[in-house]
Amino acid sequence: MSNKYIEDIAEIRQMMEKSSRFISLSGLSGIMAGIYALIGAFIAWKLAYTSEQMIYGEPTNRDVWGNLTYLILDAAGVFLLTLITGIGLSVKKAKKHGVKSWDKTTQKLIINLFIPLIAGGILIIVLYLNGIVGLIAPTTLIFYGLGLINASHYTYRDIRYLGLLEVALGLIASFVVGYGLLIWAIGFGLLHIVYGTLMYFKYDK
């Protein structure tokens, strides 16, 4: 009797977890996001740096504004690919587990994720217009991390730790401005691949 009671409690708890959290996030989407980010960072490096200047954190081209425009388009491309892949894999996982991919929990997740992202995007525009380009990479890491922390209340708690690491990297990057691209690649590239791999084996297998 006691075992049946425990099983019932566990089942009820699992149902409540499914209804209050978005559990269709795919670990593969994290891995792909990391790969996209590394490719984007490589393209950015080719556009604005040589290997020697990358070490010392100095742009190879004096046309800072021209370079920055290409870098922003590069980052936007990475974000768009990541978004499309994330949505596609999440919908696929939701269908596989017989749950809705779009409900109130999903809406709360997106709203809480995008509040810091939109605020960060506005701040990046301000930095860009005022020529404070060295803080753009750190700002993307910090506000992306805050978005993940905010969204972690509505999905896997593991995302909170990824968010904290992104914020920490962003703060470090703000002190060593010349290495922003390198730290950006670590934050959006390597961390996503590691996180996605862990999530895949923990929740997707």
Phi, psi of 162 (to 5 degrees): -60, -45
Does the pLDDT of residue 187 top 90, yes or no?
Answer: yes
Rounded to an integer, what distance in angstroms lies between the CA atom of residue 163 and that of residue 178?
Answer: 23
Please give the residue that has the higher pLDDT: either 119 or 22.
119
pLDDT of residue 143: 97
Higher pLDDT, 84 or 133: 84
pLDDT tens profile 82-128: 989 988 888 888 787 777 777 888 888 899 999 999 999 999 999 98
- Give the model confidence (pLDDT) of 40-63 as tens digits: 999 888 876 654 444 344 444 444
pLDDT of residue 4: 55
93 neighbors 204 (Cβ within 8 angstroms): yes
Surface-to-core class of residue 6, CB atoms within 10 Å of its CB (0-12 exposed, 13-18 middle, 19+ buried): exposed
| Averaged pLDDT of the chain | 81
Amino acid 144 reads Y
Please give the share of the chain, as a percent, with pLDDT higher than 70. Answer: 78
How confident is residue 20, by pLDDT bands cut at 50, 70 and 90? very low
The predicted structure's pLDDT at residue 186: 96
Would you say residue 17 has pLDDT above 60? no
* 3-class SS of residue 155: strand
4, amino acid identity: K
pTM value is: 0.81
Most confident of 43-47, 127-131, 197-201: 197-201
Higher pLDDT, 11 or 188: 188
3-class state of residue 101 by DSSP = coil
pLDDT computed for residue 204 by the predictor: 74
pLDDT (0 to 100) of residue 192: 96
pLDDT digit string, tens, across residues 141-164: 999 999 999 999 888 888 999 999
CA distance 49 to 16: 51
The predicted pLDDT at position 61 comes to 46
